[in-house]
Amino acid sequence: MEQKISSRLNFVLEQDKMFDPQRVCQILEKELKPIINNYLELDQNFCVRYKKQDFKNIFFVEFEAKRIKPIGYIPY
């Protein structure tokens, strides 16, 4: 799964001639949300934002979680 995400992002960042930061944010949001849902119970809000600062591309992932799901616990 990690390779699929990185190959998609590499395509968008390196080969997409019409670089659109909003498109990258949409892809990140689509890929990250199911992974984060494995560990947290999310509220409705989930957002990926982009900012260019000097020569850096900065991405912010914002979400609110109702709770952290237990890891290594199997309820009976």
Mean pLDDT (whole number) for 26-44: 90
Residue 6's H or E segment, with its range, is helix 2-10
Domain limits for position 41: 2-68
- How far, rounded to the nearest angstrom, does the alpha carbon of residue 35 sit from its chain's CA centroid? 9
Residue 72's pLDDT is what?
76
3-state SS, residue 41: strand
Reported as a pLDDT band with limits 50, 70 and 90, residue 71 is: confident
Provide the token pair at 13: 């960042």
Domain count along the chain: 1
3-state SS, residue 54: coil
Provide the token pair at 5: 């995400």
Residue 2's pLDDT is what?
63
Domain assignment present for 75: no
Domain assignment present for 27: yes
Answer for the pair 34, 23: CB distance below 8 angstroms, yes or no.
Answer: no
